[in-house]
Amino acid sequence: MRNPTRGRVLIVDDSELVLDLVSQHLHEIGYEVNTSNSGRLALSLVTQHRPDVVVCDLHMPDLGGFEVIQALGEQPNSPPVIILSADHEVGAVLRAHRHGAFDYVLKGDDYESLTTAIDRAVSHGRVLQENIRLEADLKATQQGLTQSLSRDLAAANVELERQVVELGMARDAAEIANRAKSTFLANMSHELRTPLNAILGYTEMIIEDVDHAGLRQSAEDLAKVHGAGAHLLTIISDILDLSKIDAGRVKIHVQVASAAELLNDLMQTVKPLVEKNGNTLNLALDPEIEALCTDTVKTRQILLNLLGNAAKFTRDGSISLRVTPGPEPDTVEFSVRDTGIGMTPEQTARIFDAFVQADDSTSRRFGGTGLGLAISHRLCRILGGSLTVKSEAGVGTTFTAMLPQLELAAEAVDDEPTVKVMRLAGAEGDSASPPSQTLRVSSETLL
């Protein structure tokens, strides 16, 4: 009974007799058979009929069995080749396997061996074909996945780009609004300072008159008016400073100053305030640092803020300013250390933000508005340096300002001098009470 699905075989042999006998047998047991009496013709028949297996003679006049195997091996998906030969030599069998023959069957053997070999080759070929099909399927699935992934990715990218544009627009709008706010504040602060200065000036005059008239109580009341006005002026000056910085209107004036002179003068300025709380004050200047080449007004302002804070938040302790070469070449490190109330890590994380104090009771207990450090931090950055803090609650605090020595060429002429009035009074208790002392820091102050 013929089984048409058993496989398709191409028999290649220069002997017509072999072709007839073998093809007849295979045909009878269910194979579909094609024949070729030359190796060269066999190659084109393979392309034409796509047999599952080629049964090929070894020695033929044009192309021998090995050449047929080699030529087929160069084609993709070529069928396995079984050599059917009368050559008993072991060398021939080995060579056939080395050339890639699927099997080697002797012509003298019974058909059983040939049929078994053909069956094996056919199923081997089918497994191979199935593998190839599966691989192709896998590739197609992968391609499909990759395409759909890239489509999803492209869509996500478009969405992301849209969001980036939207965020950029929101950021630009916020920056414009912030600048407008800073410019407004800077202008407003100017407007406020003029009448306030007039109030202070006239109050001083009236205090003198009232004093001369012997009206002690009135003089004391007026002194309170004056103190409150002066306090208000320092707050306005702080806001003006911060607004100018945020509006990008602060320029730097580089000067060369004697480090010893500048720092000793600074010590004289803060000494009364430091001693008022029973603290000692100490300056340690590394002799290597002779000159400071920076914006000395702003440097002084930063140090006065830090020393003012140290004095305010320390009682019966010690406050020191250490000035040493910084870790980078041409930098100077100013460390203000105190043995005061200190801060927790949560508190130190926020203190460089404007209007922030370590906790809500600070303003009540020590006065201040929480602007000094915000200004100092920004000024350090403007001067190309940094301001950092290390603190431990109940132990003390060290602020370190690292400033580079600037080049004189960096000097720029400011359209308007920076004004800073330092408030160094440690007004305790009632926050509404005016500070007892107001220090003028800059020669450029408008006061």
Q: CA distances (Å), 144 to each of 130, 135, 148, 149, 155, in order?
A: 21, 14, 6, 8, 17
Instruction: State the binding partner of 335 from ligand ATP, Mg ion, none, CB within 5 to 8 A by kind.
Output: none
Task: By CB under 5 A, name the one of 36, 37, 78, 309 that touches Mg ion.
Answer: 309
- Contact mark string toward ligand ATP, 341..380, x via CB under 6 A: xxx-------x-----xx---x-----xxxxxxx------
What stretch of H or E contains 402? strand 396-404
- Range in contact with Mg ion (rule: CB under 5 A) among 108-116, 122-130, 277-285, 302-310: 302-310
- Figure out which of the listed residues 11, 338, 427, 441 binds ligand ATP, where binding follows CB under 6 A: 338
Query: Residue 299 or 397: which CB sits closer to ligand ATP?
Result: 397
Rule CB under 6 A: say whether 36 interacts with ligand ATP: no
Q: Could you tell me which residues come within 8 angstroms of residue 24 by beta carbon, excluding any fewer than 6 positions away?
A: none
Please identify, using beta-carbon distances, which residue of 372 and 396 lies nearer to Mg ion.
372
The partner in contact with residue 37, picked from ligand ATP, Mg ion, none with C-beta cut-offs of 5 to 8 angstroms by kind, is none
Residues near 285 by beta carbon (within 8 Å), at least 6 away in sequence: 259, 260, 263, 323
Selected from 340, 385, 426, 434, the binder of ligand ATP by CB under 6 A is: 340
CA distance 289 to 172: 43
Closer of 326 and 368 to Mg ion (Cβ): 368
Question: What region does 429 belong to: left with phi over 0, alpha with psi -120 to 50, or beta?
Answer: left
Specify the stretch interacting with ligand ATP by CB under 6 A; choose among 25-33, 95-103, 294-302, 340-348: 340-348
The interface partner of residue 207, options being ligand ATP, Mg ion, none and the CB cut-off 5 to 8 Å by kind, is: none
Q: How far is the CB of 384 from ligand ATP (least distance, A)?
A: 21
Contacted entry of Mg ion, ligand ATP, none for residue 252, CB cut-off 5 to 8 Å set by kind:
none
Query: Is the CB of residue 389 less than 8 Å from the CB of residue 374?
Result: no
Q: Least distance from C-beta 201 to ligand ATP, angstroms?
A: 24
Element (H, E) at 189: helix 111-212
| String marking each residue 402-441 x if it binds ligand ATP according to CB under 6 A | ---------------------x------------------
Q: For 213-331, where are the alpha helices, taking DSSP H only?
A: 216-246, 259-276, 296-312
Site for ligand ATP in 382-401 (CB under 6 A): 397
Question: Which partner in Mg ion, ligand ATP, none is near 421 (CB below 5 to 8 A by kind)?
Answer: none
H-assigned helices in 29-110: 39-49, 65-73, 90-98
How many beta carbons lie within 10 A of that of residue 215, not counting itself? 13
Q: Which amino acid would we find at residue 71?
A: A
Beta bridge partners of 397: 338, 391
Q: Which of 289, 295, 282 is nearest to 261 (CA)?
A: 289
Interacting residues toward ligand ATP by CB under 6 A:
238, 305, 309-310, 313, 338, 340-343, 351, 357-358, 362, 368-374, 397, 423
Interacting residues toward Mg ion by CB under 5 A:
309, 372
